[in-house]
Chains A and B, each alone.
Chain A
Amino acid sequence: DSGVTQTPKHLITATGQRVTLRCSPRSGDLSVYWYQQSLDQGLQFLIHYYNGEERAKGNILERFSAQQFPDLHSELNLSSLELGDSALYFCASSAGGLAGYNEQFFGPGTRLTVL
């Protein structure tokens, strides 16, 4: 158990809908990262928050947004969903703000299925 929790574990929705994925980092970790993993794209970094502030953006679509709250939990919002958004979404956390320097601890993921 990494100490990172993600809810829900599974999510099934329809095209055009909007969903919110939630992540609670390990106790004491200030950084939260979001990743998308699909069969055709592999593991894609989406966005990184550190202590409530956006630190870096990766391959995140404009239809997707995220935020990190004062209690350090984070939410990833996916809107106008398309079939291609079906994927496993991981959240990870680390103690520091430099992603390339700190070990990242991954949650179990949320499997999103868009029908």
Chain B
Amino acid sequence: AQSVTQPDIHITVSEGASLELRCNYSYGATPYLFWYVQSPGQGLQLLLKYFSGDTLVQGIKGFEAEFKRSQSSFNLRKPSVHWSDAAEYFCAVGHMDSNYQLIWGAGTKLIIKP
């Protein structure tokens, strides 16, 4: 069955350090890829998305993600995290095999050390 895997449930990073959150999917062809962020007590907000074209995608709040077809991955990165980045991050995938419904990863909770 199609799936989306975020292997890290929690990640702790020092403020100012770089960040990479992993996302892998199991679909044959290129799906539509999304990263959403959920700040404490809030709903989810789209950070960035990839449909086609340049495999390095820029999003809001200084985030970027790179689509790597050979690794079936869409990892989220930020060169220098801020305390306000503490949140839960969800990867989601849309694909014709799931009738274009979004399949969600389990989320990665980002903790920022001062």
List residues of chain A with CB under 8 Å of any chain B CB. 2, 4, 42-43, 45, 48, 56, 58, 90, 92, 98-101, 103-109
Contact = CB atoms under 8 A, between A and B. Distances in A.
Interface of B: 31-32, 34, 36, 42-46, 49, 51, 90, 93-95, 98-102, 104, 106-107
B102 to A, nearest CB: 5
Contact of A56 (B46, B93, B101, B104): B101
Contact of B43 (A2, A56, A100): A2
Contacts of A2: 43, 45
B102 A104 contact: yes
B95 A100 contact: yes
A45 B104 contact: yes
B42 A99 contact: no
Contacts of B44: 43, 90, 92, 104, 106
A101 B80 CA distance: 30
14 contacts: A2-B43, A2-B45, A43-B44, A43-B106, A45-B102, A48-B101, A58-B101, A99-B94, A101-B51, A103-B49, A105-B46, A106-B36, A106-B45, A108-B43
A110 to B, nearest CB: 11
A81 B101 CA distance: 27
Nearest to A108: B43
Given A99-B100, A101-B32, A43 B107 contact: yes
Given A99-B102, A100-B102, A42 B43 contact: no
Contacts of A108: 42-43
A43 to B, nearest CB: 5
Given A43-B90, A100-B31, A103-B49, A109 B104 contact: no
A36 to B, nearest CB: 12
Contacts of B32: 100-101
B43 A106 contact: yes
Nearest to A111: B41
B5 to A, nearest CB: 13
A104 B94 contact: no
B43 A101 contact: no
